[in-house]
Amino acid sequence: MDTALVILIDGLIYSSWLFIVAVGLTLIYGVMKILNLAHGSLYAIGAYTSASLVGWYFSTGYFPWAGFALFIGAAILAGMLTGFIIERGLLRFMYGRDEVVMILVTYGILLILEDVIKLLWGVDAYFAYQPYSMLGRIRLSGISFAGYDLSLILVAGLVGFALWYALNQTRQGKLLRAVIHDSEVSQAMGINVSRVFVVTFVIGSALGALAGGLTAPALSVAPGIGIEVIILAFAVVVIGGLGSVGGAAIGSLLVGICRALAVHTYPQLELFVIYGVMAMVLSIRPQGLFVTATARKI
C-alpha cells in the first residue's frame, strides 16, 4: 500500500511537469495547426532566464521568497517575448502552408535558438537550486518528497484550470474555439484571426518557458536541455490527441503513472514505457485519445 501511494505521488509529480511542458505545444497546434518543434528551445530559454536570475538574486541577499516571483515571472516574460518575435518575425509569413513545411520552419527556428542560447549563455551549466530546497521536505508514505516537486501538482492544476476557464468561460475563449473550428469562416465573421494567432503563440511560448523556469531549480541548466524535453512533450501530445488540452492532461497522467510504476517495479522498462504507452494508444486510436477522427478533404 505504501509503495502504491509512493508510485501515485511520483506519477502525479512527473505528470504535472509533463503537462506544463506539453500544454503550450498542444495549444499552439490546436489553434494554429503548427507542430512547434521550437517549443523545446522556449523551454530552454525559460530555464536559462530563471537560472541566471536566481543566481543573481540569491547572491544579493534580498528577501528570498521574492525570488520565486522573479524567476517565474522572468521565464514567462522571456517566453512571451521570444514567442512574439518568432510569430511576427517569421511564422506570419508562412501561414497557409502545408503542416510539414511548418514543421521544417519550426525546426529551423529550433536550430537558430539553440545557437542563440549558446551565444547568450555559453556552454557551461547554470544552477538555480536555491528555490528547490526553500519549500522544505514533506514526509509521505514513509519517505521524504521535496515540497517544490509537490507544488508542481498545484501549478499544473492551476495552469489546466486557467486554460479551461479561458477557453470555455470567456468571450476570447469562444473566439479562439471558433478559430480552432474554422479559421476562414471565423475571419469572414469578423474575428481578427491574425491577432488570435499572435496571442495563442505568445501564450503557448510562455507556457513552454514557464515549464523551463519551473524545472531549472532541479537541474543543471546546460545546452541541449530543450531537445530532450520536446520528444517527451510530443509523446504526451500524440497520446492525448494533437490540439486537445484535456488530452494533454490525460496523456501526461498516463505516461507519468506508467513510468513511476515501471521505475518501482521493473526499472528496465523505464526507457520503453513512455513509447510503449504511445504505441498502444495509437494502435487503438490513431488520432489520439481526445480527438475525433474527421473525414479528409480531397
Partner 1 sequence: MYYLSIGLLGFVLNAFFCFGTPATVRAEDATFKVGLVTFLSGGAAGPFGVPARNAAELMVEAINNGTVPAPYNSKGFAGINIEPTIIDEAGGGTKQVGEFRNLVQRKNVDAVIGYISSGDCLAIAPVAEELKALTVFFDCGTPRIFEDNTYKYVFRTGPTSTMDNVAAARYVLDLKPDLKSVAGVNQNYAWGQDSWKDFKDSLAVLKPSVEVKTEQFPKIYAGQYGSEISALMVKGPEIIHSSFWGGDMEGLVLQGAARGLYDAHTGLFTCGETAMFRLADQITEGTIIGGRGPFGVYAPDNELNSWFRENYMARFATPPTYPSYKMAQALLGLKTAVEKAAAGKNEKPDKESIIAAFENLEFEAPSGTVRMALGNGHQAVQDMFYGQFTNKSGKPEVYNVKRYPAECVNPTDGVTSSEWISTSLKNTPCK
Q: How far is the CB of 109 from partner 1 (least distance, A)?
A: 18
- Residues counted in the chain: 298
Q: How far is the CB of 80 from partner 1 (least distance, A)?
A: 24
Residue 148 or 201: the one with the smaller Cβ distance to partner 1 is 148
Residue 208 or 288: the one with the smaller Cβ distance to partner 1 is 208
Q: How far is the CB of 19 from partner 1 (least distance, A)?
A: 13
Q: Where do contacts with partner 1 occur on this chain (CB under 8 A)?
A: 2-3, 6-7, 9-11, 13-14, 17, 118, 123-125, 127, 129, 132-133, 137, 142-146, 148-149, 215, 217-220, 222-225, 228-229, 259-260, 263-264, 267-268, 270-271
Backbone angle region of 73, left / alpha / beta, with phi > 0 → left and psi within -120 to 50 → alpha: alpha
Residue 141 or 187: the one with the smaller Cβ distance to partner 1 is 141
C-alpha grid cell, residue 143: 519517505
d(CA 251, CA 232): 11
Q: How far is the CB of 200 from partner 1 (least distance, A)?
A: 27
Residue 121 or 201: the one with the smaller Cβ distance to partner 1 is 121
Give the residue among 76, 32, 15, 107 at the shortest CA–CA distance from 216.
76
Run of H or E including 32: helix 2-32
Query: How far apart, in Å, do the first and last CA atoms of the chain sit?
Result: 54
Tell me the β-bridge partners of 140. 143
d(CA 112, CA 147): 36
Residue 30 or 212: the one with the smaller Cβ distance to partner 1 is 212
